[in-house]
Amino acid sequence: MGMKNHEIVPLALIENIAKLRRGGVFKVVQSLLKKKLIAHINKQVDGYSLTYSGYDVLAIHTFIKRGLIKQIGNMLGTGKESDIYLCKGPNDEDFVLKLARLGRTSFRAVKTKRDYLKGRSKHNWLYLSRLSAIKEYTFMESLYKTQIPTPQPISHNRHAILMSLIQGYPLINVSSIKHPGKVLNDCVNLSIKLVELGLVHCDFNQFNLLVTDDEDVFVIDFPQMVSVDHFNGEELYEKDIVCLNEFFANRFGVFCENIPKLKDLKVLRHVDAEIKASGYLKENLKDYEIEELDQVIESAKREDDDEEMDSGSGEEPAEELKEEEEKEKEKGVEETKELNIINSESLEEKIPHEDQEDSENSSDESGSQDEDLNANPQITDQNKTKTKTKAEKTPENSSDLKQKISNKLKKNRQKREKVRTNRNKVKGQMSLNF
């Protein structure tokens, strides 16, 4: 409670809040210091501040009071922004507890990479972690209601999010898949569905995609999501698709071509405006919807503030209005699009050698495949486990295909680098003018 308006809390203020004598407060503070739940700071002001361990205890204590969890298990994973733990619910069901950890040495450029501060200059890592958790929970709740394959959000408090456990594996840890073309098809369509909801994931890669034993795909990690109207939205969308294509091409030998660009996709519902994603346009919402959304966000923040003051309210975030739920059912999300899976042999008929272009362009099979390419995106299967006869016939064609894929990826990287350098030049000129 003292850190609500103090970065370093002096001992006198702790006595005031705790309503204890100085000797009793000193004993409690020493005990917390030994357990590393708080830290003593003696720089400009002598006082104490919470550590991430202490912040974890407060959040977990709130979940226990709500009756949501009863046991914390092993760590499932750790990243540059969070730690993931397995926990047990009251009925022995498995949940996932995500604890935000902004400020690590591996990722300290939060002010430039994320928009949590909304233009403010000063920040505290605990406060930024809390903002990150609130933002991610809001995204996850909205996406889950629109039937996007995500973990089910259960509750959140301070910098912690409680969600359901997906029985799957991160795509980065998967070495082989029975149907890689089908999985890539689902991943690309999932990215397109997000755009149809007005959102760009911005980190849609092998680290944030889970694959189950049945080869179903789930997406996780949402705090960096932005609106399609964001000034960098098109570049971020293209970066997601290129990274995904590059991973599948290198590991599983499949590649998706002719993916629609961001400007060619139609937004069916502006979820970005409803949850105020970074870069959204207020014109996409009506006045009364903006007022209702502001009230929901303020009430969620008040609940967190009340719990930090030990009010024990334990209320869940407010539900959306029934009118919005009816609109969701009416609008919906466009059905999944199927991508054509083509073997390397059939692709080689479409992408011939420079020496064989004249002879192959005259064939009827290549003409029929041109219509398929224009209708839908392609997935090209570069399966290396072919029979000896097939491998002998097309060794040069498969190498040509790999070369064309690598050249295409290099061109995309060069375009992104040019955009970054131009943006940095503009920023430098603006800083000089000011």
Task: Return the pLDDT at 346.
Answer: 41
Render pLDDT for 203-248 as a digit per residue (tens, 0 to 9). 999 999 999 999 999 999 998 899 999 988 999 999 999 999 999 9
pLDDT at 341: 44
CATH number, span 53-165+286-331: 3.30.200.20
The string of pLDDT tens digits covering residues 285-321 is 555 455 555 665 566 556 666 655 554 444 444 444 3
State residue 31's pLDDT score: 94
CA distance 69 to 90: 6
Predicted local distance difference test score (pLDDT) of residue 347: 42
Mark whether 203 is an active-site residue.
yes
pLDDT range class, residue 89, cuts 50, 70, 90:
very high
Domain locations in the chain?
2-50, 53-165+286-331, 170-269+339-433
Q: In angstroms, rounded to a whole number, what is the distance separating the alpha carbons of residues 209 and 230?
A: 23
| pLDDT, tens digit (0-9, with 9 covering 90-100), for 150-189 | 999 999 999 999 999 999 999 999 999 999 999 999 999 9
Check pLDDT > 80 for residue 408.
no
How many residues does the structure list for the chain? 434
Fold exhibited by the domain 2-50:
Arc Repressor Mutant, subunit A (1.10.10)
Is this structure's pTM higher than 0.75? no
pLDDT of residue 19: 83
Distances (CA, A) of 27 to 16, 31, 36, 93, 321: 15, 6, 14, 39, 49
Q: Is a pLDDT exceeding 50 seen at residue 11?
A: yes
CATH 1.25.40.10 correct for 170-269+339-433: no
Question: What are the pLDDT digits (tens) for 358-396?
Answer: 444 444 444 444 444 444 444 444 444 443 343 444 444
Catalytic residue among 203, 221, 229, 272: 203
Mean pLDDT of the chain: 76
For residues 191 and 240, the answer to whether their CB atoms sit within 8 Å is yes
Quote the percentage of the chain above a pLDDT of 90: 45
